[in-house]
């Protein structure tokens, strides 16, 4: 199982690799990482925003929706987690929400999704193309429309991620 995150902080002190921030950087890095490492599975983790945010919470991605290029006839706009990984994650984190997570290059750029992040679709799609099972897991830390980033709850979210990810790794191994 290879742990992938956009930033060092999102790896929460665990061994893993960085894909960079945003869908373009994540797609390029994920392709390189998959070719070099040839992992048996990928767990993509990080922080996210939410419409109607109240408290930091774990979200397991039921699908990743690429909101920046929603032209299904030209570009696949959805990538899906491996069903067995998602089932195992549900068992390990029974209180986690399971929902679609929008991927966009800009805060507030998603549509039709309650949750929003920046790398999930890119990593999951690269894994689909490489035949590698993958799962996106996020901790929501902010209201998507909140422009004041000092109000985003990064520290609490990272603590929750640090608690959840080792349990997930054990359950998914």
Domain architecture of the chain: domains with CATH: 2-172 (3.40.50.1580)
pLDDT above 70 (res 35) = yes
pLDDT above 70 (res 110) = yes
DSSP 41-108: -EEEEEEEEETT--S-EEEEEEEEEE-TT--TTTS--EE---HHHHHHHHHH-TTSEEEEEEE-SSTT
If we measure between CA atoms, which residue out of 60, 3, 11 comes closest to residue 162? 11
pLDDT at 68: 85
Instruction: Give me the residue label for tokens 């099972």.
Output: 133
**CA distances for 6 relative to 18, 54, 100, 112, 128, angstroms:** 5, 24, 19, 23, 19
pLDDT at 50: 96
**137, 81 Cβ separation under 8 angstroms:** no
| Of 61 and 104, the one with more pLDDT | 61
Q: pLDDT tens digit string along 38-92?
A: 999 999 999 999 999 999 999 999 999 998 876 665 556 899 999 999 999 999 9
**pTM summary value:** 0.94
Task: Give me 9's structure tokens.
Answer: 């902080």
**19, 37 Cβ separation under 8 angstroms:** no
pLDDT at 54: 94
Q: Residue 11: in which H helix or E strand, if any?
A: none
Q: pLDDT tens digit string along 54-68?
A: 999 999 999 999 988
**74, 156 Cβ separation under 8 angstroms:** no
Which of the four pLDDT bands, split at 50, 70 and 90, describes residue 173? confident
Q: How many Cα atoms are found within 13 Å in the side-chain-facing hemisphere of 158?
A: 13
pLDDT at 167: 96
Q: Quick check: helix, strand or coil at residue 165? A: helix
pLDDT above 90 (res 22) = yes
Q: Residue 39: in which H helix or E strand, if any?
A: none
Output the average pLDDT for the chain: 94
pLDDT at 74: 58
pLDDT at 73: 59
Distance CA 155, CA 173 (A): 27
| Of 20 and 69, the one with more pLDDT | 20
């Amino acid at each position: 199982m290879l742990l992938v995150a956009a930033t060092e902080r999102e790896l929460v002190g665990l061994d893993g690799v960085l894909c960079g921030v945003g869908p373009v950087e994540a797609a390029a890095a994920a392709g390189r990482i998959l070719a070099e490492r040839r992992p048996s599975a990928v767990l993509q983790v990080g922080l996210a925003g939410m419409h109607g945010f109240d408290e930091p919470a774990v979200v397991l991605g039921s699908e990743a929706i690429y909101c920046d290029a929603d032209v299904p006839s030209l570009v696949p706009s959805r990538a899906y987690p491996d069903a067995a990984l998602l089932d195992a994650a549900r068992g390990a984190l029974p209180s986690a929400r399971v929902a679609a997570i929008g991927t966009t290059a800009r805060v507030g750029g998603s549509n039709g999704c309650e949750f929003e992040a920046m790398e999930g679709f890119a990593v999951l799609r690269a894994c689909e193309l490489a035949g590698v099972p993958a799962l996106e897991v996020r901790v929501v830390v902010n209201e998507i429309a909140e422009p004041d980033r000092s109000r985003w709850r990064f520290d609490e979210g990272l603590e929750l991620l640090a608690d959840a990810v080792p349990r997930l790794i054990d359950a998914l191994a």
